[in-house]
Structure 1
């Protein structure tokens, strides 16, 4: 019998009075701080105004949080939230969708590009992808510490028993499950490395949209495949040929292909 890994990590780091410091919130904050530092250094390297990074940080933070929350409410549990709209504001109760964050950040950065850089939004994304990958990596680490968004049972030796998860206890007690949070951390790291090398070693940012296009294929091509291993996030996904995460990944995969094709014609 193949043994699995017992994952028994407290999602709360420490208590300060009635305040809880949780891994998930810490990783969100750390991800955005690292991203801000990376983009700020890159703008300085290219001799753009210091204020660009400060403004960009606010656009990204606000749009990501709002988009991820609305994405979950609209795409995954609209029946509930349409009947209880005030619950949408209670972000601390959980429920964030990465696809919603991506769609929102694209819209926000289109506005940012028009108002601030006066350049193509894909010019901006080409420079932001390593930072975006860093934030995504940190968030998935937070999911792991929360024992959430895991996969179906597996006989592989790296299967995790998420003993602090009520969902795991109800469905898979005693069985190791795919640690899909770690799988997603791996493709985030891959997107970081590939985009970093494309920019810093091969200077492919001259082909506007190429770095973004390749990274979208890594992010959402991987996400599409991994969804076959993941436990349904909501009951309505059970029995679907393609789940909600896969359906939302398809337009972003197509966008990546389009940007790669387009980049051959568009250069700085």
Structure 2
């Protein structure tokens, strides 16, 4: 029996769609919806020339190709990041498990780095401004973050710290008898919904005319939101608290998620400062050369 103050965990089947032996789980569906939603929103943004000014904008066909690059970057980066940051010793003992991505184990920070690398390589190959492409991704990424964190909740994983006196605590099936913060929903609300709204406002205000600005704002916003949510989230059992004990409802322990957000703050600030100074804009000659292929294809 769950404690008196705990809300019951909703009995949701982790399999969203089942057709014979084929099963699609909510987590996989969250990735698909996030990528498709981001693709649709990105196509809407590149169709608005007023947002880009003199910065060369990608074509609709570029976005169609880019989604494949980003998907590979997210999956490969997310898996490699989880192996390196969260469970390296276990995977070194059983290296074949590294390929078993269907058993779970993805890192946002690793997926973020994989997506950044894919975006920069794609931009270089197509003659686009790399900073502007990162800005475009920054505006659409919160869509995937929202659905991903909701899927974490449905799966009953990555639950929060013990909260026996919290009125809306939930007794997760795999979280023991103690009611816990539904930290997955906190992250969906902040890293997903709130950050999406803030980035939508930013793109309306600044557009992509200052390459790197939106990307820097996103990195800063995510780092702040993730760090705040880590205060409520139970650290990974194989790591625990890196520093401090985390004793109490809002203990002061430092987690791996918090630590990985520190360089994001530095990178975000650098991007914002450089964008505001105009350092990320291409030189006029290069900008004209980059625009010529688009003019010829029009």
TM-score of the aligned structures, taking structure 1 as reference length: 0.90
Q: Provide the secondary structure at the position in 1 that maps to 2:35.
A: helix
Structure 1: distance between partners of 2:58 and 2:221 = 29
Partner of 2:202: 198
CA contact (8 A) 2:87 2:238 kept: no
- Structure 1 CA distance for aligned equivalents of residues 79 and 18 of structure 2: 26
Q: 1:245 is matched with which residue: 238, 257, 260?
A: 257
Moved more, 125-134 or 43-52: 43-52
Asked if 1:60 corresponds to 2:76, the answer is no
Following superposition, the deviation at residue 17 of structure 1 comes to 2.2
- The match for 1:123 is 132
CA 1:14–1:115: 2 relative to 1, 3 Å? closer
Bigger CA radius of gyration: 2
Query: Which of the residues 1, 5, 12 maps onto 2:15?
Result: 12
Once residues 32 and 157 of structure 2 are traced to their aligned partners in structure 1, the CA distance between those partners, rounded to angstroms, is 19
Rounded to whole Å, the distance in 2 between the matches of 1:136 and 1:192 is 9
Query: What residue in structure 2 maps to residue 28 of structure 1?
Result: 31
Distance in structure 2 (CA, Å) of the matches to 1:123 and 1:142: 30
- Return 5+ residue gaps in structure 2 as ranges: 50-56, 245-253, 282-298
Give the TM-score taking structure 2 as reference length: 0.81
Instruction: Please list, as runs of the form range in 1=range in 2, the aligned pairs for 1:45-124 lying within 5 A after superposition.
Output: 45-46=48-49, 48-119=58-129, 121-124=130-133
Alignment length (residue pairs):
259
1:161 aligns with 2:171: yes
**Residue 5 (structure 2) aligns with:** 3
Superposition pairs for residues 135-214 of structure 1, below 5 Å? 135-154=144-163, 155-163=165-173, 165=174, 168-169=175-176, 173=177, 175-187=178-190, 188-200=192-204, 202-214=205-217
How far is 1:239 from its partner?
Answer: 5.3
Alpha carbon RMSD of aligned pairs, Å? 1.9
What secondary structure sits across from 1:10 in the alignment? coil
Shift of 1:204: 4.3
Structure 1 unmatched runs, 5+: none
